[in-house]
Amino acid sequence: MQGKDFYDSVLQFYDQAARFSKLDPGILQQIKACNSIYKVNFPVEIDGKVQVVEGIRVQHSHHKLPSKGGIRYSIHVDEDEVKALATLMTFKCALVDVPFGGAKGGVKINPRTSSVETLERVTRRYASELIKKNLIGPGMDVPAPDYGTGSREMAWIADTYLTFKYGDTSALGCVTGKPVGQGGIRGRTEATGLGVLFGLRELFADADLLKHLGLSSGLAGKRIIVQGLGNVGYYAAHYCQLGGALITGIAEREGGIYHPDGLDVAAVLQHRTDSGSILDYPGAKNVADSAGLLEYECEVLLPAALENQIHEGNAARIQAKVIAEGANGPVTRAAEKILLERGLVILPDLYLNAGGVTVSYFEWLKNLSNVRFGRMGKRAEEASLQRLVTTIEQSTGKSISAQERALIVHGMDEIDLVRSGLEDTMIVAYHEIRSVMNQVKGIQDLRTAAFYSAIEKVGVSYQSLGIFP
């Protein structure tokens, strides 16, 4: 039932925001509905035996093309879960002005217990099934990594697509999240986690919300409990720690650890790599029930694992003042009602974890243009800055150190441009959300405001297509 509960929550969030829209009811119904659902069962030889594997691809919205969304590998994948994730992707892209429709994919397989050979066979066969139906491509639908997948799987998909579409110079744009050497972009790996930092930074500079919460400005000294030490959770915690926050708790499937003075996130990850578990990290308290760790006292609770982690059963016991949704759908609709009544602030998933799709958009642009960002301008920019510094030194008679000079004259390369674009995207989107809360009577929480902003943008797209009046 978990996938159905997740999808129901997403639709309830949508309905809550749609109540405030003046768009035609027909447009609102079209925006809400999934445009297409494709399910396929294919045989794969695993350990000498043929097994049937189920794959799903949902394209929620075609108001803009291509549609965009990750591929999840999990034995628990079901149609409702994928529909929920695809629906969120539509509004996530619209909110942060990434010109994609929403999509999502899933394959029923356990990536932790499957061999690399099995994963490659399944990935390539799943990709082949989608390609044969013209369901993926740089102008149609562009997958990306999600839970259980990464750059390796995306490289396999790209290679399979190139086999079918030999000679297509834009073919690498069929998928994002690839290794840098195979058409990927620098900064994509940490993009979602870094976006979480930018989002939290904006909230902790928002005087009105901080006054409501009784918190001081800035991340420094704020206690954060993180659920999930995967890609999103690790990088979000890492960058928040660099920003001065204290990561006091980390929850994972094997249990949790807690230290009131803060944990070294990089050291915890290394400990888990060495021992296979975050438990027994030196100096930290083990928490056998990792779900219970979510109820510990902190300023920010950062769920970055799976959906439905904060629900009607535990919402009343959450002691955090801010819930930052690094994962998709970690808070159910029933739980949100309880949390908002208690005065908590929720930074919603369709905003906070949009860093991944934002940088995926940059990667897609790079693949279509077939040029590395910064390649043509970096040296010219550095030469110009060098001349400027030299002129200032000559006119003032003062010189600067070699270290200062290197910092000043550094030209923007790919990762600088990517991070700059990501930061700007998260800042602009946050203030758009807050503007909705200030201007639309009745909207009092960040999620409803974010959905409303996204709905209005998607509605404009449908109107511009001439489909609706």
**Residues classed as catalytic:** 104
Q: If we measure between CA atoms, which residue out of 369, 375, 405, 374 comes closest to residue 387?
A: 405
Phi, psi for residue 345 in degrees, rounded to 5: -110, 130
66 upstream amide cis, omega within 30 of 0: yes
The CA-atom distances, in angstroms, between 245 and each of 27, 152, 287, 318, 403 are 43, 32, 21, 19, 28
What is d(CA 258, CA 289) in angstroms, rounded to the nearest whole number?
12
Residues contacting 107, CB < 8 A, separation 6+ = 53, 54, 55, 56, 71, 72, 73, 77, 122, 123, 126
Note the Cα 344 to chain centre separation in Å: 22
What is d(CA 24, CA 113) in angstroms, rounded to the nearest whole number?
49
Q: If we measure between CA atoms, which residue out of 354, 348, 353, 438 comes closest to residue 96?
A: 354
Question: CB–CB of 42/126 below 8 Å?
Answer: yes
Q: Which contiguous run of DSSP H or E holds residue 53? A: strand 49-59
Q: If we measure between CA atoms, which residue out of 225, 222, 227, 229 comes closest to residue 204?
A: 222
